[in-house]
Structures are given as C-alpha cells and as structure tokens.
Amino acid sequence: MRFHVFESPKEASAFASNIIAEQIKQKEDTVLGLATGSTPIETYQNLAEKNKNNEISFKKVRTVNLDEYVGLSGDHDQSYRYFMNTNLFDHIDINKENTHVPLGDAEDLEKMCEEYEKLIQDLGGIDLQVLGIGNNGHIGFNEPDIKLYNETHVTDLTESTIEANKRFFESKDEVPRQAVTMGMASILRAKHIIVLAFGTSKADMVKRLKDAYLDPQCPVTFLKIHENVDIIFDKDAGSKL
C-alpha cells in the first residue's frame, strides 16, 4: 500500500487523474471501476479536460460503477447513473453502451446482481478501480458489519450513511434505505486500486489503513490484503498519521 499526501485536494486530484490517464494510454480498452461521491469529482473534471485536449480517448474504455441506490431509476437526479452521466460521461467521448452502473430499479435485483458480477468477469476484470471512503469506512456500499459479502449484492444502508448522504436529498426520509453494491471480492479483484480521501472527516479512515489488522466494522481496511493500492489524500485527511 503506497501513501501519497498532497497539500490540497486539487493536487491530489491531478495526481489521480494522471494515473488514470496513463492507464488508458497503455491500454485503450481499459476497464475502469468508478466511484461516486464528492471526492472524485475534480479527478473526473481533469479527465474530461485531458479528453478535450486529445491527450486521452475514452472511445474504447469500458466502465463499471461500484453501486446504486435501490429504487432509483437512472434518470433520478440522485441516482449514481445520473451522477456519472453529469459528472463524467456526458463530457467525454465514451460510448455510453460501454458504461455500466448497477440497475437500482431492476425488477429482480438478485438476478441483476448476478448478471453484474458476470459482466465484470466478461469484461476481463477491472484494470483500475477508483474508490472513495465513506465516513464510516464503507467502500462502495459495503457497510460496517460483523460480516462482509464478496460479490455484488443488495445491502441495507446504515444510519450513519443515511445521515451522511441526506445532504443530497430534500429530506432524510427520501434517502433510499437500501443499495446495490459490488462486494469486497468484486473490488479486491481489481488489478490496481486508487483510493481518494480528502478533509478531516476522512482522517480516522486514513489512519485505520495503517493499523496492523483488518476490521469488518471498517471495510476499507480490507484493502490491505491487496498488493497494488495507492492511497491519495490531502494533508487534512492525513492529519492523524
């Protein structure tokens, strides 16, 4: 696990977008694992800029997203499909058919989860996974628990996640109580993982990545098993190291 600290989120995002751009230059049909949340937004803006400047092309890139709220269709403005379209896909030359986000409004969610897992496999696995960290240590929507799931599955959201994510909805009541998320193994099978963490609210989580043990009550600690992970954070998120 490599730790990279930067003065500001801006510099950290520039570093992250350069890693992603290099990956795409080396393999034009790269499979990118993508995350939502406020943290990767500037990285996505940098990628759109690089695309505009013809530094990289997304024409052959395939993407799979980590998660989606149950019950929200892709045109709901709080769905993660909508987030990805507006923050990245609408601004780059990607073929939308090559972009995949779990379908939160699928009739048969279990079947959709199985198909999503198979899709990742059929694409040849994830070359580079982008991750944020929930304030409670979740990755994707793998929430703190006494047990963690390996594959894509439906999960109940914890009170702390509902609380943290209510800022995006009109009221707390509107925050979905469930989500579909890639599982721990779906994430850990990625060949390379980059984790972004900005601000003091992530300082405890960055510190937990230095602890000598894994804790299912803090799912991000499981990244320590992986041999190719870059943790990219600003000095506030690194303030407890």
**Residues that bind ligand GLP in the complex, under the rule CB under 6 A:** 35-39, 66-67, 132-134, 140-141, 161, 165
Q: Is 67 a catalytic residue?
A: yes
Whichever of 147 and 167 has its CB closer to ligand GLP, that residue is 167
Active-site pick, 51, 138, 142, 153: 138
Active-site pick, 136, 142, 234, 236: 136
Whichever of 132 and 183 has its CB closer to ligand GLP, that residue is 132
Whichever of 56 and 100 has its CB closer to ligand GLP, that residue is 100
Whichever of 48 and 132 has its CB closer to ligand GLP, that residue is 132
Active-site pick, 67, 68, 234, 236: 67
Strand partners, 192: 128
Q: Is 138 a catalytic residue?
A: yes
Q: Which two tokens stand for residue 151?
A: 């594959």
Q: How far is the CB of 57 from ligand GLP (least distance, A)?
A: 26
H, E, C per residue of the chain: CEEEEECCHHHHHHHHHHHHHHHHHHCCCCEEEECCCCCCHHHHHHHHHHHHCCCCCCCCCEEEECEEECCCCCCCCCCHHHHHHHHCHHHCCCCHHHEECCCCCCCCHHHHHHHHHHHHHHCCCCCEEEECCCCCCCECCECCCCCCCCCCEEEECCHHHHHHHHHHCCCHHHCCCEEEECCHHHHHCCCEEEEEECCHHHHHHHHHCCCCCCCCCCHHHHHHHCCCEEEEEECCCCCCC
Q: How far is the CB of 111 from ligand GLP (least distance, A)?
A: 22
Q: How far is the CB of 6 from ligand GLP (least distance, A)?
A: 16
Q: Is 165 a catalytic residue?
A: no
Whichever of 134 and 144 has its CB closer to ligand GLP, that residue is 134
Q: Is 192 a catalytic residue?
A: no
Active-site pick, 143, 153, 234, 236: 143
Q: How far is the CB of 12 from ligand GLP (least distance, A)?
A: 12
Q: Which residues contact 177 (CB under 8 A, 6 or more apart)?
A: 70, 156, 157, 162
Q: How far is the CB of 53 from ligand GLP (least distance, A)?
A: 26
Q: Which residues are catalytic?
A: 67, 136, 138, 143
